[in-house]
């Protein structure tokens, strides 16, 4: 008699493949443009100017980055707070995505602000009226919480396996002891951080929406609404699970693993209601503010808005309602990818497309440098993800367990 259990293990697979080499080239290209930014100023590599102070880096690296890392707090809420154990297999990969996602959000902020060496200022210089201050503080604390949440993965990897080279080997025992103390302390207090992570996420995901409210009439009425914080929060919650599915299916294909279809299908069945709530608020807001009249104009704003809503919300919503989609790997991937695309486009629309300064002489389109840095960061994120899942117990693999004795005794494994 034997049975299967799912245990997170470091995946055995080689790191370098042609695809990985390609990603490294993209990442290095981004780094080259970043050097230009740090040596010659933001103007040297971006198309930003006094009319358009914010562009691709804020829209994608920061705003979309935060939204697409929402899988971390939505799965934490599902797995840990609601104690749905059947989803435990996806909690760690989602946590890793969130941790890396927020790390790159922080890096995106770091390169976009003019005085990167003052990035710590918000910690000591407070402005409670500023939505950006709230986002900044919350993201800083949440990033710390994510690292703490990830620590058990590190202690699990090294406990009993500390093996330092050379003369350092003398410390092996004491480091192992330290890890064990840390692990015990963390397992007792982890619930504090898990709840804090969810609270912090709801706060800054919504405050990210408050950011552009102050821009008032500079923002196209299709997007400018006082319920922006609510829309941002709802869309972040809706994109959490699709992002987990999207990333899990890519990872299992790339690492030649069997996809976790039963868990992913069940996760997928929860997306349609979440998307539905978001869509209801979005449409309701349009009806109340009578902004659908702007869809009659045929311009960039109306086209982008239509694409965002149709391909990013309505079509995937319909797809997730169908049991056939939930069972098919390809269709589930397509539907999830559409939601991810929709939220990405929504953040770009909110921060870049919708923004029209009162005295604009030209329109903004990101420069090669801006695109290179953004794509480079994304490549670095994938490379880091791959490195970590190959070396740390993140992805769960089915392990076949055959009980040793005929009888199982309570308390003895």
By CB under 8 A, name the binding residues for another protein.
Answer: 37-44, 46, 48-51, 53-54, 77, 80-83, 85, 109, 112-116, 118-119, 121-122, 125-134, 136, 188-189, 191-192, 194-196, 198-199, 202-203, 206-207, 210-218, 226, 229, 355, 357-359
Smaller CB separation from another protein, 102 or 341: 102
Minimum CB–partner distance for residue 185 and another protein (Å): 12
**Number of Cβ within a 10 Å radius of residue 400:** 8
- Residues linked to residue 396 through DSSP beta bridges, in sequence order: 8
DSSP 257-268: ----HHHHHHHH
- Distance, in Å, from the CA atom of 139 to the CA atom of 133, rounded to the nearest integer, reads 10
Smaller CB separation from another protein, 38 or 387: 38
Smaller CB separation from another protein, 329 or 356: 356
Minimum CB–partner distance for residue 207 and another protein (Å): 7
Tokens of 241: 């699970």
Minimum CB–partner distance for residue 267 and another protein (Å): 18
Smaller CB separation from another protein, 47 or 254: 47
Decide if 138 contacts 207 (C-beta within 8 A).
yes
- Distance, in Å, from the CA atom of 52 to the CA atom of 363, rounded to the nearest integer, reads 8
Minimum CB–partner distance for residue 35 and another protein (Å): 11
Minimum CB–partner distance for residue 224 and another protein (Å): 10
Decide if 139 contacts 102 (C-beta within 8 A).
yes
- Distance, in Å, from the CA atom of 308 to the CA atom of 302, rounded to the nearest integer, reads 10
**Number of Cβ within a 10 Å radius of residue 354:** 21
**Number of Cβ within a 10 Å radius of residue 337:** 17
Smaller CB separation from another protein, 69 or 200: 200
Minimum CB–partner distance for residue 125 and another protein (Å): 4
Smaller CB separation from another protein, 110 or 171: 110
Cβ-proximal residues to 13 (8 Å cutoff; 6+ apart), any chain: 255, 256, 390
């Amino acid at each position: 008699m034997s049975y299967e259990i799912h245990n997170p293990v470091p995946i055995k697979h080689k790191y370098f493949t042609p695809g990985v080499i390609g990603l490294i080239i993209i990442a290095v290209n981004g780094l080259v443009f970043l050097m230009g930014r740090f040596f010659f100023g933001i103007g040297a590599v971006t198309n930003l100017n006094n009319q358009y102070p914010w562009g691709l880096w804020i829209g994608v690296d920061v705003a979309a980055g935060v939204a697409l890392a929402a899988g971390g707090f939505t799965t934490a809420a599902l797995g840990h707070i609601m104690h749905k154990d059947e989803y435990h297999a996806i909690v760690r990969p989602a946590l890793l995505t969130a941790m890396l996602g927020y790390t790159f959000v922080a890096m995106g902020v770091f390169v976009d602000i003019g005085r990167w060496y003052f990035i710590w200022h918000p910690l000591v210089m407070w402005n409670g009226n500023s939505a950006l201050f709230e986002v900044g503080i919350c993201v800083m604390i949440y990033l710390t919480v994510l690292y703490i949440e990830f620590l058990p993965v590190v202690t699990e990897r090294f406990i009993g396996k500390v093996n330092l080279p050379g003369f350092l080997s003398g410390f092996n025992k004491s480091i192992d002891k330290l890890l064990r103390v840390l692990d015990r302390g963390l397992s007792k207090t982890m619930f504090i951080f898990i709840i804090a992570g969810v609270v912090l996420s709801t706060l800054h995901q919504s405050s990210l929406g408050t950011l552009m409210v102050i821009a008032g009439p500079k923002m196209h009425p299709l997007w400018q609404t006082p319920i922006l914080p609510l829309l941002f929060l709802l869309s972040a919650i809706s994109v959490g699970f699709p992002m987990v599915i999207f990333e899990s299916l890519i990872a299992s294909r790339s690492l030649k693993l069997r996809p976790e279809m039963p868990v992913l299908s069940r996760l997928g069945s929860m997306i349609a209601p979440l998307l539905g709530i978001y869509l209801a608020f979005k449409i309701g807001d349009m009806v109340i503010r009578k902004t659908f009249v702007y869809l009659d104009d045929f311009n960039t704003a109306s086209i982008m808005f239509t694409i965002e809503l149709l391909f990013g919300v309505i079509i995937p919503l319909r797809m997730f309602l169908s049991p056939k989609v939930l069972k098919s790997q390809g269709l589930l991937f397509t539907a999830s990818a559409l939601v991810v695309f929709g939220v990405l486009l929504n953040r770009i629309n909110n921060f870049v497309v919708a923004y029209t300064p009162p005295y604009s002489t030209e329109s903004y389109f990101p420069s090669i440098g801006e695109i290179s840095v953004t794509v480079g960061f994304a490549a670095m994120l994938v490379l880091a993800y791959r490195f970590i899942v190959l070396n740390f117990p993140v992805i769960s693999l089915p392990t076949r367990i055959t009980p040793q004795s005929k009888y199982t005794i309570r308390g003895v494994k």
